Amino acid sequence: MVGSRSGIRVLVAGGAGFIGSHLIDALLAEGARVTCVDSLLTGRRSNLAHLAREPRFDFVEADVTEPLPALPKAAWVFNLACAASPPHYQADPVHTMMTSVLGTSRLLEIARDTGARFLQASTSEVYGDPERHPQQESYWGNVNPTGPRACYDEGKRSAETLTFDFERRHGLDIRVARIFNTYGPRMRADDGRVVSNVICQALAGDDITVYGNGEQTRSFCYVSDLVDGLLRLMASETPLDGPVNLGNPHEMTVGELVDRVVRMTGTPSRIVRRPLPVDDPQRRRPDITRAETLLGWSPRVALEEGLEATIAWFSREIAPRRALPEI
């Protein structure tokens, strides 16, 4: 669909991160002009380094919890700004909460004042440790509001509330994507998430850390599928009436994921058990009926294929460091 967004101007908050940088690549490939706003808290310039000479791209370093500089008027605003991995979002929980509340509110105001369409990157974490399975958008969730994950979960729930209030009160054209676990190239090696941890540990021959008994489940979506879903959601002219789950319904235990990576890498790593983090959800699988029906979207990349690309990317990413002479 190259050229289908020709000339449209898009603001991507959080665009230097893992998902945001792939989204920007896809938007530019379709002919859009893109401004990225990012504080580089967990994002990296290297994710966007290949765009240094791209005239349709510009980067603004700013924290969305602070007053923002003047930004070019955009037709679409994507809000992906927020640390997403538990160790990172728990490092400064108040800032994480403020990013979702203050940051989202600032970006919503920009969209309201400029007439832009607004997409909020929400999360499966709004379902908490779900009592219903698989999770449908109509489920209100089971979140501990005072635990260590609450800064992220409740922050994102508040961001959803703000987004729907701007729709009700100001007639804003909004979309809310509830994103489930996503993986792929440009995840950080120090991210702390299970896919990046296990692959990096396997490639380095280090112990592979399984938290708890490894029986907890997740459903992993490859990043190109997720970006396709985000673009379809933003471009949709069908009335949506509520949030839309985006994720891969192929559910597996953490133990099964580890076995798969061990087999694919041929690593001699040992598997070691670590305590299950507080409030770690036991099961998670999206019901994607709404995305299928409203957007004609479903994931295409099989786990084996996605893991292969991610392992290859991490091999290149960590190889130069391993090759450095010891000093």
Q: Tell me which of ligand UDP, ligand NAD, none is bound by residue 93, counting a contact when its beta carbon lies within the kind-specific cut-off of 5 to 8 angstroms.
A: none
Pick the piece of the chain touching ligand UDP (CB under 6 A) from 53-61, 62-70, 272-280, 294-302: 272-280
Q: Which two tokens stand for residue 120?
A: 């909020």
| Interface with ligand UDP, residue 93, by CB under 6 A | no
**Catalytic residue numbers?**
152
Say which amino acid occupies 68.
Answer: L
Burial class (CB in 10 A: 0-12, 13-18, 19+), 249: middle
- Identity of the residue, 118 or 183, whose beta carbon is nearer to ligand UDP in the bound complex: 183
> Distance of CA 272 to CAs 84, 122, 207, 254, 264, Å?
25, 32, 6, 13, 19
Among 14, 17, 20, 86, binds ligand UDP (CB under 6 A): 86
- Identity of the residue, 84 or 199, whose beta carbon is nearer to ligand NAD in the bound complex: 84
Secondary structure (3-state) at 17? coil
| Interface with ligand UDP, residue 139, by CB under 6 A | no
Binding site for ligand NAD (CB under 6 A): 14, 16-20, 38-43, 63-65, 80-84, 99, 103, 121, 123, 179, 181-182
Q: What is the DSSP string of 169-232?
A: HH---EEEEEE--EE-TT--TTS--HHHHHHHHHHHTPPEEEETTS--EEE-EEHHHHHHHHHH
E strand or H helix at 60: strand 57-61
| Interface with ligand UDP, residue 254, by CB under 6 A | yes
| Interface with ligand UDP, residue 194, by CB under 6 A | yes
Alpha helices per DSSP H over the chain: 18-29, 86-91, 93-98, 104-114, 150-170, 194-204, 223-235, 254-265, 289-295, 303-323
Q: Tell me which of ligand NAD, ligand UDP, none is bound by residue 41, counting a contact when its beta carbon lies within the kind-specific cut-off of 5 to 8 angstroms.
A: ligand NAD
Pick the piece of the chain touching ligand UDP (CB under 6 A) from 72-80, 92-100, 164-172, 193-201: 193-201
| Interface with ligand UDP, residue 211, by CB under 6 A | yes
Q: Tell me which of ligand UDP, ligand NAD, none is bound by residue 40, counting a contact when its beta carbon lies within the kind-specific cut-off of 5 to 8 angstroms.
A: ligand NAD
Q: Which parts of this chain interact with ligand UDP (CB under 6 A)? A: 85-86, 181, 193-194, 197, 209-211, 216, 218, 254, 276-277, 280
